[in-house]
Each structure stands twice: as structure tokens, then as C-alpha cells.
């Protein structure tokens, strides 16, 4: 792990410590481990996947703890979730800028993207309806480049 990445992780852990203290709650190994897993994740993870990952170094963790921690982290805006139809939710660590997702319906791959104009357009649409926009979720479903090639 690079020194740079290490430092980022520290920042997240510090943020967690601060928030936990501010809320009069406690800093636990489990919360730290779950946050670490999310930090190291290359893609979006389901609660079950996070559970399995944490289990590698803490065999006694319970699935319920993962769910409880994810709800907490999401309410504190440390992580975000995207939900796919009935296939449940996936979580990711909030790193800076908001972004949206393209989801490949063949292989399940998730491509993240950020588009300035899209953000602006939403504000504009909301304003038209006097709707106070808080957050949004834009999911584009289709077939990714690789899967298109495979099909041919």
C-alpha cells in the first residue's frame, strides 16, 4: 500500500472517530474494519460481500453489525448506496465528488461517471417544479463495451 493511500485511510478513520464522538457513540473495531473494507474496495459491495471481507480478519463479526454500521455510515454521509431493482443495494465510500452510474445488464459491471452539465440540468428541472433537490440517483442500464464485443 502506498504512503499516499495510507494517509487517505487515516483521514477516513479520523472522520469516523470525530463523528462517533460528536454523536456520543463509541468507536469500535467493527466500525473501523467495515470502513477499511470500503476504503480498499475496487468496486461497489453488497452488505454480504463486506461481511465476508471483514470476516477474513475477524471471524466473529455478525451480518447484523454490517447492516447497522452501513446504515449509520450512510446517514452520516460517509458512504452511499445504489439500489438495483430487486437485486438489493451496493455500497461505496464517498470520495469527493458525487457521481452517477452506468450498469451493464450482462456482466453487472458498474461504470462511474460525473457530468457537470447533468448536475446543472437537474437543478434547472427541479427549480421549474419548485422542488428542493437534495440528492439524486441516475442509473443508466445497458451493455458495456466488453460485453458488446463478446456478443458479436
The span from the CA of 44 to the CA of 94, in Å, is: 11
The mark string for 36-65 relative to DNA (x by CB under 7 A, - otherwise) is: ----------xxx---------x-xxxxxx
Terminal Cα distance for the chain, rounded: 39
Find the Cα–Cα–Cα–Cα dihedral 143, 85, 129, 75, rounded to 10°.
Answer: -110
The span from the CA of 33 to the CA of 71, in Å, is: 15
Q: Shortest Cβ distance from residue 93 to a second copy (Å)? A: 18
- All 3 cell numbers of residue 87? 437485486
Residue at grid coordinates 448536475: 119
Q: In this complex, which beta carbon is closest to DNA, that of residue 78 or of residue 126?
A: 78
- Residue 107 interacts with a second copy (CB under 8 A): yes or no: no
Q: In this complex, which beta carbon is closest to DNA, that of residue 13 or of residue 147?
A: 13
In the list 9, 13, 20, 126, the residue contacting DNA (rule: CB under 7 A) is 20
Look at the chain and count its residues.
152
The residue ranges that bind DNA (CB under 7 A) are 20, 24-31, 46-48, 58, 60-65, 67-69, 71, 86, 88-89
The residue ranges that bind a second copy (CB under 8 A) are 81, 83-86, 89, 102, 104-105, 111, 113, 115, 117-118, 121-122, 125-126, 128-145, 148
Amino acid at each position: 500500500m502506498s504512503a499516499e493511500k495510507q494517509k487517505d485511510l487515516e483521514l477516513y478513520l479520523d472522520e469516523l472517530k470525530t463523528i462517533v464522538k460528536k454523536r456520543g457513540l463509541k468507536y469500535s473495531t467493527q466500525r473501523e474494519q467495515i470502513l477499511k473494507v470500503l476504503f480498499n474496495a475496487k468496486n461497489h459491495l453488497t452488505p454480504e460481500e463486506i461481511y465476508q471481507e471483514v470476516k477474513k480478519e475477524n471471524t466473529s463479526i455478525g451480518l447484523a453489525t454490517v447492516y447497522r454500521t452501513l446504515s449509520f455510515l450512510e446517514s452520516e454521509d460517509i458512504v452511499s448506496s445504489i439500489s438495483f431493482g430487486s437485486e438489493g443495494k451496493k455500497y461505496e465510500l464517498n470520495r469527493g465528488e458525487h457521481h452517477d452510474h452506468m450498469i451493464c445488464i450482462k456482466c453487472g459491471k458498474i461504470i462511474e461517471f460525473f457530468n457537470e452539465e447533468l448536475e446543472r440540468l437537474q437543478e434547472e428541472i427541479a427549480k421549474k417544479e419548485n422542488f428542493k433537490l437534495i440528492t439524486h440517483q441516475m442509473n443508466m442500464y445497458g451493455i458495456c463495451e466488453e460485453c458488446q464485443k463478446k456478443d458479436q
